[in-house]
Every structure is written in structure tokens, then in C-alpha cells.
């Protein structure tokens, strides 16, 4: 398979690149805006700069490589930033997908697009692939608009919806709930953790594998690719504290209204992954197993 990945410098992009390189069976093209920040020598893959908001560049790069499959991981994912920078959000999350659809149509490439649980209002989670979307933030609106572009296109496509991705980037460029709770409790900080939101936290390595399974099978349609546990952030924090044997006396439950956030969050989402398990053989780790993987990477 000739595979092109957008957003290769991001957390999911990094995990996908490593997965494909470890398999060693596919021709790989990594693309990202700016220079290549991957920790791998470019002996076993090709890197091309790609700004997904540049229409001409998207058409040119896809036409140059003519990949069998494109996995599109690049996006604006900061929910509050999307609310305050709507024009940039739309360019990155919607216009870019339109450009990729156009490019993939001319090369007959299969497009795997990453989406989110934030297309739902969080009133009736967890959700399966047939649930009716109803976003309550501009980020959710943008991701839902991108999904509609694919649904209305005539290319071969798959939509991978995921939730609360956590993992360790090789350059430690972003934190996650596990690292934040561990550091805060080790330092004896008072922290408040939300207990009225439900999510299915997703290990970045598991999401990468789910995306690869979709790509490898060219499995068309919508797939929920997330963790298998349904937890509140407070429950995630408790699991983290238990794993590291940390004192939780400085940690307290809070409801979402305690925090001032620009964008609304859906209260209870989570995704049901039966379809991915049955049709793709997807087998995610538990949240506790995920913590163990992060610990190994840290050491």
C-alpha cells in the first residue's frame, strides 16, 4: 500500500508513522506544515511539506505521489481556539477536506478522515455510528461539516471518529490527563477534576492502529475508534493516582460549570466500538494498560 499521512508532526501522525515503519510493508509519505520534526531518518519514507489550507499545494502533493490511501490527521483541534478563530478553524477543518476530496478524486485515492465525538451534543452518549449528530461548539460544527463533504462526495472514503486522545509525543510537545494528574499530585497541588462528563479515552497508539486497519482494508463508511472504557475525567484521575500510588487528598471532584471555557463541551459522549471490533479486528487497550504504556515511554 502506498500511504500518505497529513499532519505527520502531530501526536497521531507520529504514532502512525512509527506503526507503518515498524510494519515495513508499505510505501510511506509523511506530510506536515513546516519542516519534518519526526525522529526517524528519511531512509524508509518520503517527507513533503504540505499546508492543507493551500489548495494548489494539496492538489500538487497528492498528484505527485498518487497514494493508494490518504490518512488525514491534520486539523485544528483546540476547541476554545476554534471558537475564537472561526475563520482559521474553517480553513483547516473544512476547506482542507474539500481540497483533499478533490485531489483524491483525481488520483482515485481512498481518504481516511479523522473526526470527533464533539459532533454530538452529549445528551445521550455513548454513541454508535448511526447516532444523529448535533454539535454544540464551532469545533463540532466544523468537523460535522467536513463529514458532510465526504458523505456527499463520490470518492472512496472512511470517517474515523475518536475521543479524548492521550499519548506522549516524541518531543513532549503536549501534555495529557495522565501526565497532568501525575505531576500535580506529586507536587502536592490542589486540583479540581470534572466528574460530570463522560468520555472513552483513546490511547494514541490504539487510534493509529484503528486508522491503519481502516486504510489497509479500505473499509468504507464511519467507524468509531476509541478506548473501550467509559470514564469521567475524575475517574481517569483516580486510576492515574492509583497506578502511581499517589495521595489523592489534594484532588477534588468538580462539575463543568466550575470552569470558564470559551466553547461548550458535550457532557456525556463516549463512543461504542462494536463495529470496529467486529469488522476490523480492532482491539484497544484499557485505560490502565494505556497508563502503563505511557510509563514505559517516559522511562
Q: pLDDT tens for residues 99-121?
A: 999 999 999 999 999 999 999 99
In terms of DSSP H, where are the helices of the chain?
Answer: 11-23, 55-65, 79-84, 86-90, 96-107, 138-151, 177-186, 204-217, 233-244, 274-280, 287-298
Which domains are delineated in the chain? Answer: 2-168+202-227+270-285 (3.40.50.720)
For residue 214, the model assigns a pLDDT of 98
Distance, CA of 108 to chain centre: 25
Strand 165-166 to strand 27-32: parallel, antiparallel, or no bridges (unpaired)? Answer: unpaired
Q: Cα(91)–Cα(98) distance, rounded to whole angstroms? A: 10
Is the model's pLDDT at 282 over the cut of 90?
yes
- State the distance between the two ends of the chain, measured CA to CA, in whole angstroms: 34
For residue 225, the model assigns a pLDDT of 98
The DSSP output letter for 95 is I
Q: What is the mean pLDDT of residues 256-282?
A: 94
pTM of the prediction? 0.97
Is the model's pLDDT at 296 over the cut of 80?
yes
Strand 191-194 to strand 221-224: parallel, antiparallel, or no bridges (unpaired)? Answer: unpaired
Q: What is the mean pLDDT of residues 196-210?
A: 97
For residue 94, what are the CA distances in angstroms to 76, 100, 259?
A: 10, 10, 29
DSSP 215-251: HHHT--EEEE---S--B-HHHHHHHHHHHHT---TTE
Angle formed at CA 256 by CA 250 and CA 261, multiple of 5 degrees = 105
Q: How confident is the model at residue 126 (pLDDT cuts 50, 70, 90)?
A: very high
Q: Cα(141)–Cα(135) distance, rounded to whole angstroms? A: 6
Q: Cα(252)–Cα(238) distance, rounded to whole angstroms? A: 10
Q: What is the mean pLDDT of residues 199-227?
A: 98
Q: What is the mean pLDDT of residues 192-211?
A: 96
Cell (9 digits) for 165: 486522545
Is the model's pLDDT at 299 over the cut of 90?
no
For residue 43, the model assigns a pLDDT of 92
Range with the poorest average pLDDT among 19-28, 48-57, 171-180, 255-264? 171-180
What is the per-residue pLDDT across 145-158, written as a single tens digit (0 to 9) for each? Answer: 999 999 999 999 99
Task: With beta carbons less than 8 A apart as the criterion, state whether 290 and 203 touch.
Answer: yes
Q: Cα(203)–Cα(81) distance, rounded to whole angstroms? A: 23
For residue 170, the model assigns a pLDDT of 87
Q: Cα(67)–Cα(108) distance, rounded to whole angstroms? A: 9
Helix, strand, or coil here: 125?
Answer: coil
Task: With beta carbons less than 8 A apart as the criterion, state whether 127 and 271 touch.
Answer: yes
Mean pLDDT of the chain: 96
Task: With beta carbons less than 8 A apart as the criterion, state whether 238 and 90 touch.
Answer: no
Q: How confident is the model at residue 257 (pLDDT cuts 50, 70, 90)?
A: confident
Q: How confident is the model at residue 260 (pLDDT cuts 50, 70, 90)?
A: confident
Is the model's pLDDT at 38 over the cut of 90?
yes
Q: What is the mean pLDDT of residues 194-205?
A: 96
For residue 54, the model assigns a pLDDT of 98
Q: What is the mean pLDDT of residues 12-26?
A: 97
Cell (9 digits) for 87: 475563520
φ and ψ at 286, to 5 degrees?
-70, 165
Query: To which residue does cell 483533499 refer?
Result: 100
Give the residue among 202, 199, 197 at the shortest CA–CA distance from 227: 202
Amino acid at each position: 500500500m502506498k500511504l500518505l499521512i497529513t499532519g505527520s508532526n502531530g501526536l497521531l501522525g507520529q504514532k502512525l508513522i512509527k506503526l507503518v515503519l515498524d510494519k515495513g510493508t508499505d510505501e510511506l509519505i509523511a506530510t506536515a506544515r513546516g519542516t519534518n520534526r519526526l525522529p526517524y531518518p528519511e531512509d524508509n519514507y518520503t517527507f513533503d511539506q504540505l499546508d492543507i489550507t493551500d489548495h494548489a499545494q494539496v492538489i500538487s502533493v497528492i498528484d505527485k505521489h498518487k497514494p493508494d490511501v490518504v490518512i488525514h490527521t491534520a486539523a485544528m483541534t483546540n476547541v476554545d481556539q476554534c471558537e475564537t478563530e472561526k475563520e482559521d478553524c474553517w480553513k483547516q477543518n473544512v476547506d482542507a477536506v474539500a481540497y483533499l476530496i478533490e485531489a483524491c478524486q483525481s488520483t482515485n485515492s481512498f481518504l481516511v478522515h479523522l473526526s470527533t465525538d464533539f459532533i454530538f451534543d452529549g445528551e445521550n452518549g455513548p454513541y454508535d455510528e448511526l447516532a444523529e449528530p448535533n454539535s454544540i461548539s464551532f469545533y463540532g460544527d466544523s468537523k460535522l461539516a467536513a463529514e458532510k463533504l465526504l458523505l456527499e462526495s463520490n470518492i472512496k472514503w472512511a470517517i474515523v471518529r475518536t475521543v479524548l486522545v492521550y499519548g506522549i509525543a516524541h518531543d513532549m510537545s503536549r501534555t495529557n490527563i495522565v501526565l497532568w494528574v501525575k505531576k500535580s499530585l506529586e507536587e502536592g497541588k490542589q486540583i479540581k477534576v470534572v466528574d460530570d462528563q463522560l468520555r472513552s479515552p483513546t490511547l494514541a497508539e490504539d487510534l493509529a492502529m484503528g486508522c491503519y486497519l481502516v486504510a489497509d482494508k479500505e473499509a468504507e463508511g464511519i467507524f468509531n475508534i476509541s478506548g473501550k472504557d467509559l470514564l469521567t475525567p475524575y475517574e481517569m484521575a483516580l486510576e492515574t493516582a492509583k497506578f502511581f500510588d499517589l495521595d489523592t487528598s489534594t484532588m477534588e471532584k468538580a462539575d463543568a460549570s466550575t470552569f470558564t471555557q470559551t466553547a461548550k463541551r458535550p457532557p456525556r459522549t463516549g463512543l461504542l466500538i462494536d463495529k470496529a471490533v467486529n469488522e476490523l479486528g480492532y482491539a484497544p487497550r484499557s485505560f490502565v494498560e494505556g497508563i502503563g504504556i505511557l510509563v514505559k515511554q517516559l522511562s
